[in-house]
């Protein structure tokens, strides 16, 4: 993602609620976002939720993970699919499942269809359990 120019906001709008965010998404992103949200809440029942940078973010002691729908702009950039990221993935067991890109700490997986999420359910649950354990340290 591009660096913000001095004094320029990367987002010039703010969703007031999850419902407002959800209602703004295309149908394919709605299904992926809601499914990922349910997986997170089922796997980590005491996780807290908030909108951060206009996207769903989940935390306990600190940030655990986020869901970034591609249609939610960062500056003027949008992307395809829904990014599911882990805030402290650099502390997790190394794997080839998550994309690191040029980041040092936050890694992610992009989903373009609900079938991809369903196929990877066991992997996602395992990663969430590990991220939750790391948050508890």
pLDDT digit string, tens, across residues 53-94: 899 999 999 999 999 999 998 777 778 999 999 999 999 999
Residue 4 scores a pLDDT above 50: no
Enumerate the β-bridge partners of residue 66.
57, 85
Closest CA to 41 of 62, 64, 20, 75: 64
Domains in the chain with CATH codes: 18-136 (3.90.1150)
Counting Cα atoms < 13 Å in the Cβ hemisphere of 23 gives: 6
Give the model confidence (pLDDT) of 32-56 as tens digits: 999 999 999 999 999 999 999 899 9
pLDDT score recorded for residue 22: 95
Q: What percentage of residues in the chain have a pLDDT greater than 70?
A: 91
Q: What percentage of residues in the chain have a pLDDT greater than 90?
A: 80
């Amino acid at each position: 993602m591009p660096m913000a120019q001095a004094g320029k906001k990367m987002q010039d709008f703010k969703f007031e609620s999850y419902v407002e965010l959800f209602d703004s998404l295309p149908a394919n992103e709605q299904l992926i976002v809601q499914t990922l949200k349910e997986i997170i809440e089922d796997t980590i029942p005491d996780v807290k939720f908030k909108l951060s940078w206009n996207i769903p973010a989940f935390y306990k002691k600190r940030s655990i993970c986020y869901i970034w729908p591609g249609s939610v702009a960062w500056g003027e950039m949008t992307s395809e699919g829904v990014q599911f990221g882990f805030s402290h993935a650099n502390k997790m067991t190394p794997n080839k499942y998550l994309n690191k890109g040029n980041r040092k700490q936050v890694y992610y997986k992009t989903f373009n269809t609900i079938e991809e999420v369903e196929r990877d359910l066991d992997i996602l649950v395992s990663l969430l359990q590990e991220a939750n354990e790391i948050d508890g340290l």
